[in-house]
Amino acid sequence: MKKRSERNNATFEDLIGLGNHSARKNYYPELTQKLDELEAERNRYKWLFDNALHGIFQADLSGRFRTVNPAMAALCGYSSANHLVEQITAIDQQLFVDAQAYKTLLMLLSRDGKVHRYETRLFKADGNAIFVSMNALLKRDADDVTLEVFVQDISERKNDQARLKKLNEELEQRVEERTHALATVNSKLWDEIREREVAQQQLQVAKEQAEDANVSKDKYLAAASHDLLQPMNAARLLVSTLRERELAAADNHLVERIHVALEGAEDLLTDLLDISKLDQNAVQSDPCAFHLSQLLNAVQTEFQPVAESAGLVLRIRKTDQVVFSDAHLLMRVLRNFVSNALRYTNTGGVLVGCRLRGQQLEIQVWDSGEGIPHGCIVDIFKEFNQLEQHRNGMRTGVGLGLAIVERIARVLDHPIGVHSRSDRGSVFSIKVPLADADVSLPMPVGQVSGNNQFDGEAILVVDNDQDILISMQALLTQWGLKVYIAIDAEEAIALCQQGQIVPRVLLLDYHLNDGKTGLDARQSLDQYFNYQIPAALLTAERADHSLKQFRAQGLQVLNKPMKPGKLRALLTHILSLRT
């Protein structure tokens, strides 16, 4: 047994069993190596802890920090980790904005042992709050429990989300405002057409569809135009047939009332469709050189009967000037000017004339009506604006005509003007550029009389609407024409084969069944007869690209609902070219 003095002189190696006389001394190098490795690993983790990009901290369950890395201090706005530990003595109260959020975190850790992507808010040193995402672990070591948390600042993402949410709310508000504005406009339109019994149901359906789909009135009117105009066209043709017959006075009065109501509904639909296209910038000018007398002849043919029925005189001073414009759009302007002049003139008449203004020709429409108050001249070009002047009993319209004129003039880049004196009448004008002097055009045909009777010429009408076919047959037969009707090209060819018929003129609807068009029908008939029969399209199609296609094929076009006077003038013109 060793002496006490010997035991007191024992070394550290002796005490842990690695002395000179211990067999375990052989493991000393390995143990030293392991201790060095542990120290290196500890230093590596300490370096990672100190240099981590995200905040890291350890805390006990009482809410006190045990250790904090510099990134956590910087994230919370403190100068150092020690400063943060000194200042925050109760995590749930001083660090977490919502103390309940800390309790919830502890509850989840107690249940699962770990939590991923736990989002909450923390206070910074300056009192502001930041959004953070936490990954947390609950480490149990004997009687000690440690909370280890990795913290990432997500304030920028949260702010982006908040900004996006705000933008969405603002967008929804703008949509709601536009929807409200649309509902207001639709309400005004409904007030204007309430008494139009024929079109009331169809327009109401279109209005409800527009509200349900949250689209503009312009789009739903354009989409519904064909279905609205087809039955109205058939009714117009039947009423025109009745107006030309000898009827009892009481029956004649009823027919006239129907005629006026239909004309009002037709004009309303046409105006709405036109202003819809103009507001969508869907109308493009296609200018060319033409004799202005072509338009003036058409104006006289259309409005001479209207003026006579109102007891007024319509005078049109012709001109041989050649102008450069879009004939279709310019005609729309002149029709509105003359129609308004006749509507607001009780006695006297309307004069259409032209004056040279340098390189422009000013077309003027004079009337002898009551005139326009000076303060109202600016307002007459606004939508749904009508003057309170006495009218001559003609239908009143809805106040869109001059609004359409103003938009068309902008498309054409033609200046318009208006001058008026109370009790002396008004003059509306539009300036049109003259064509180049070297432009040579054939002189147009003269004015076509609207009162001639035809002499049994054969007319073939192709339309997929049975009501329109019946109406066309009744009206054209009454004019002295021999009328054949068919719903498509196949039926038309079979009819011609059966009766050995060679029609003088083809009147073709554009939209036929099975996706076919009047252009297809014309081609089939031309192939059957082996030559091209004069043809005209009768259609509710108003798209610019379609109209250009029709013009490119040399086709005359009448838009539905057709005015019988225009149809008669067109047939007279076509037949006169073949005599």
Cα 466 from Cα 58, distance rounded (Å): 87
pLDDT at 214 over 80: no
pLDDT at 448 over 50: no
Half-sphere exposure of 222 (CA within 13 A, CB side): 17
**Nearest CA to 72 among 98, 97, 95?**
95
- List of domains in the chain: 52-153 (3.30.450.20), 159-278 (no CATH), 285-447 (3.30.565.10), 449-579 (3.40.50.2300)
Which stretch of 29-33, 201-205, 354-358, 505-509 has the lowest confidence by average pLDDT? 201-205
pLDDT category at 324 given cuts 50, 70, 90 is very high
Supply the pLDDT for residue 361.
93
Residue 56 near residue 49, CB atoms below 8 Å:
yes
Residue 192 near residue 268, CB atoms below 8 Å:
yes
Supply the pLDDT for residue 226.
56
**Mean per-residue pLDDT over the chain, rounded:** 79
The model scores a pTM over 0.95? no
pLDDT category at 278 given cuts 50, 70, 90 is low
**Nearest CA to 62 among 97, 40, 41, 88?**
88
pLDDT at 181 over 90: no
Residue 247 CB-density burial (10 A; 0-12 exposed, 13-18 middle, 19+ buried):
middle
The stretch 248-264 carries a mean pLDDT of 69
Q: In terms of DSSP bridges, do strands 129-141 and 144-153 run parallel, antiparallel, or are they unpaired?
A: antiparallel
**Nearest CA to 67 among 178, 154, 148?**
148
pLDDT tens across 452-467, in order?
567 888 999 999 888 8
Supply the pLDDT for residue 273.
67
What amino acid occupies position 236?
A: R
pLDDT at 97 over 50: yes
Percent of the chain topping pLDDT 70: 74
Task: Give φ, ψ of 331 to 5 degrees.
Answer: -60, -35
pLDDT at 331 over 80: yes
pLDDT at 355 over 80: yes
**CA 341 vs CA 362, 366, 545: distances in Å:** 17, 7, 32
The stretch 553-572 carries a mean pLDDT of 80
At residue 477, the 3 state secondary structure works out as helix
Better-scored residue on pLDDT, 228 or 555: 555
